[in-house]
Amino acid sequence: MANRLAVGNWKMNTTLDEALSLVGGLASALKAAPVENVGVGVAPPFPFLEPVGRAIKESGAAIALVAQDCHAEPKGAFTSAVSVPMLASVGVTHVIVGHSERRKHFGDDDACVRAKLEAVLAAGLVPIVCVGETLEQRESGQAEAVVGGQVRAALEGVDLSTVVVAYEPVWAIGTGKTASPAEAGAMHTYLREQVLSEIAAGKPVPLVLYGGSVKPANIDSLAATPHIGGVLVGGASLEASSFAQIVQGCANNGSE
Ligand code: PGA
pLDDT in tens, 6-54: 999 999 999 999 999 999 999 999 999 999 899 999 999 999 999 999 9
**From residue 35, how far is each of 60, 214, 224 by CA, in Å?**
14, 19, 16
Cα 20 to averaged position of ligand 1 atoms, centre (Å):
21
Cα 159 to averaged position of ligand 1 atoms, centre (Å):
27
pLDDT tens for 178-209 read 889 999 999 999 999 999 999 999 999 999 99
Ligand 1 atom showing the smallest separation from residue 235 Cα? 4
pLDDT grade for 1, boundaries at 50, 70 and 90: very low
Output the average pLDDT for the chain: 95
Can 168 be counted among the known catalytic residues? yes
Tell me: pLDDT of 101 over 90: yes
Q: Is 165 in the pocket of ligand 1 (CB under 6 A)?
A: no
Q: Is 242 in the pocket of ligand 1 (CB under 6 A)?
A: no
User: What's residue 2's pLDDT?
Assistant: 58
- Cα 173 to the center of its chain, rounded Å: 13
- Of 66, 168, 222, the one to substitute when testing ligand 1's pocket (max ligand atoms within 8 A of C-beta) is 168
Residue 120 belongs to what H/E stretch?
helix 110-122
Cα 40 to averaged position of ligand 1 atoms, centre (Å):
16
